[in-house]
Amino acid sequence: HLRNQSLHGPSPVTTFGPKACMLQNPHAVMHIQDPASQRLTWNKPPKSVLVIKKIQDASLLQPFKELCVFLTEQKNMIVYVESKVLADPAIAGDESFGAVIQKFCTFREDLDDISNRVDFIICLGGDGTLLYASSLFQESVPPVMAFHLGSLGFLTPFKFDTYQSQVTQIIEGNTAIILRSRLRVRVVKESREKKGIIMTNGDSEGSRKSMQYQVLNEVVVDRGPSSYLSNVDLFLDGHLITTVQGDGVIVSTPTGSTAYAVAAGASMIHPNVPAIMITPICPHSLSFRPIVVPAGVELKIMLSRDARNTAWVSFDGRKRQEICHGDSITITTSCFPVPSICFRDPVNDWFESLSQCLHWNVRKKQNYLSSEEEEF
């Protein structure tokens, strides 16, 4: 079905998971809300939490155990943990932690649906944990509280040393949030016979197969292992805009603007801006500059007819696959953003990340000139 297109993109849903919603602001008159006024509240007290931990990181073991003991024993929360996290011998073999493990609810990625069971999410690790949390929820996403442990992450504003008071405050409600828009991506592939077997995955559409993804950072289309330039056509709302000749193209959210896109020369865009960014990767044209388009548009990427080679696509660095002639990638803004809980507020958190992670505009100041020096 055709989406309603608008200059400011789709209005995001303001309920997240079974119990969380955005606190209504009576002073919000415009459709675009002042970022500082975005607040999270609960319809009912949260009872379940998903704890996502970076796998095989020994430095996270102690914080993970402390947090889980706190959540189960002091906060009486139902804790969901992925099965492969508990497979770590350092966790499974810890007898003192065994009583807590018995209380966990476990699940397996791609097999178990937890979308209606989790009230909020806590991430321990780097930015990858937030991207992973996003991938687990293809529709409404529960609020996410992300802690950085070790190196400072761009999407992980909380420090672990005060986790008890911070988590307590989130459970009690009324905290600042930032709605990170996602991209809804649909890949349609022509079925191809290979040694007499028709290869199909996802939903079949006659001779075609279709797969859908929700993407928080970016969709990357590149030339893969080929030595030739990639050659892909870019359509916007059905009109051919340009052909990308180069190493590839990045289609990113504002959240993804500070990831791969900024390394490829794009602007950094605050996550509250309703936009989609298109950034060429090493284009074979000096005048091909990155562009920003409204969040409501629909982009389509296909191999050009005269492309010498296939292209490859990945979604937040995952699910990498080959794109051949006749295949298409359709991208638009999703109605299901990721509600990230702020440490302070959406503006302060973002500029703090720019200075801490990217050292944005960090430089030595010029010396002050005295009146005597000005005369020379």
Please list the active-site residues: 127
**Range list of H helices, the chain:** 61-69, 83-86, 89-92, 98-101, 127-136, 163-172, 260-263, 346-357, 371-374
- Give the Cα-Cα-Cα angle 255, 143, 316 (nearest 5 degrees): 35
Distance CA 97, CA 86 (A): 11
CB of 174 closer than 8 Å to CB of 98: no
The amino acid at residue 168 is: T
Report residue 327: phi and psi, to 5°.
Answer: -80, 160
Is 314 in contact with 131 (CB distance < 8 Å)? no
Question: How many residues would you count in the chain?
Answer: 376
Taking alpha carbons only, the member of 231, 213, 214 closest to residue 222 is 231
Decide if 116 contacts 18 (C-beta within 8 A): yes
Q: 3-state DSSP call for residue 300? A: strand
Angle at the Cα of 326 from the Cα atoms of 320 and 331, rounded to 5 degrees? 55
Cα separation values, 227 from 201, 230, 246, 309, Å: 29, 9, 11, 9
Region at 114 (left for phi over 0; alpha for psi -120 to 50; beta for the rest) = alpha
Contact criterion met (CB below 8 Å) for 19 and 43: yes
| 3-state DSSP assignment of residue 42 | strand
User: Within its chain, how far is the Cα of 184 from the centroid?
Assistant: 12
Q: How many Cβ atoms are within 10 Å of 86's Cβ, its own excluded? A: 14
